[in-house]
Amino acid sequence: MLEQNMGRIDRILRGLLGILMIVAFFALPDSGWRWVFLIGLIPLFTSAFGTCPIYRFFGWDTRSR
């Protein structure tokens, strides 16, 4: 398993963003760009696992030790 590199606030904000995007996907069924809201799965999964591949690539870490 990957080492966690996201702090608590970072995880909460990403989780909320992901949930809002998934809700928008279902709330706007007639939108032509509706599928774009599925990108909300990415912040939702990174929030759930506490690790961000982009942070790892750049060597960033928002988690307090």
* 7-33 pLDDT tens trace: 999 999 999 999 999 999 999 999 888
Given pLDDT bands bounded at 50, 70 and 90, which one contains residue 64?
confident
The model's pTM? 0.86
Q: For the chain, what percent of residues have pLDDT higher than 90?
A: 88
65 pLDDT above the threshold of 80:
no
Query: Are the C-beta atoms of 35 and 29 separated by less than 8 Å?
Result: no
Residue 63 sits at φ, ψ, to 5 deg, of -80, 135
Determine the Cα–Cα distance for residues 65 and 62; give it in Å rounded to an integer.
9
Determine the Cα–Cα distance for residues 52 and 17; give it in Å rounded to an integer.
15
